[in-house]
Structure 1
Amino acid sequence: MSQHEKKKPVPVKQTEVKRTRRDRGELEAIMFKLFEGQPNWTLKQLVQETDQPAQFLKEILNELCVYNKRGSNQGTYELKPEYKKAAEDDTNGQ
């Protein structure tokens, strides 16, 4: 009989993981890229995708996005119209 005890790995709660803030410009670029691929995101999805603190993400989202309070995309963020246009111009100009 082996005297090997199996230690159960302690689950790490997501909330305990300290997320470090990226450079603001860098994060904005990542956000634009994400919104290019998918027009609507929940805060939870964005936190997972960017690995940024939710509070920091909200600050940037408030500047770049509109929050859908109702309708089919309720509870999601989407880029403000002026940013959508800019993103489209970028891709078409190449």
Structure 2
Amino acid sequence: MALLIWAMMGLALWHFTVFLPDHFWGGIVGAFVGALVGSILFGLLVNLGVPGQDDTNFLVGLEAIPGALLGMGFFWWLGLRQMRAEGRIATH
């Protein structure tokens, strides 16, 4: 159950990327992958596994937020790096 919650939290946060410039590596799909993988990996790392149904509570959902943000941030950084290498964004 916790794995589903982490994935849904990552998906929910991914929806807010529509307000950002599209600098993600892989575009909007890259942002989706970053949010989903980041939230699941961070949840697994914090809990050292997947908690069972009886151990799932409200805080399990909140554990996915930093992971989703880190995952999307990583894909954003990769995208900016690629765009700068191609000359599509000016470097400062």
- Higher RCO, 1 vs 2 (CA within 8 Å, ≥6 residues apart): 2
TM-score, scaled relative to structure 2: 0.28
Higher-strand-fraction structure: 1
Higher-helix-fraction structure: 2
TM-score, scaled relative to structure 1: 0.27
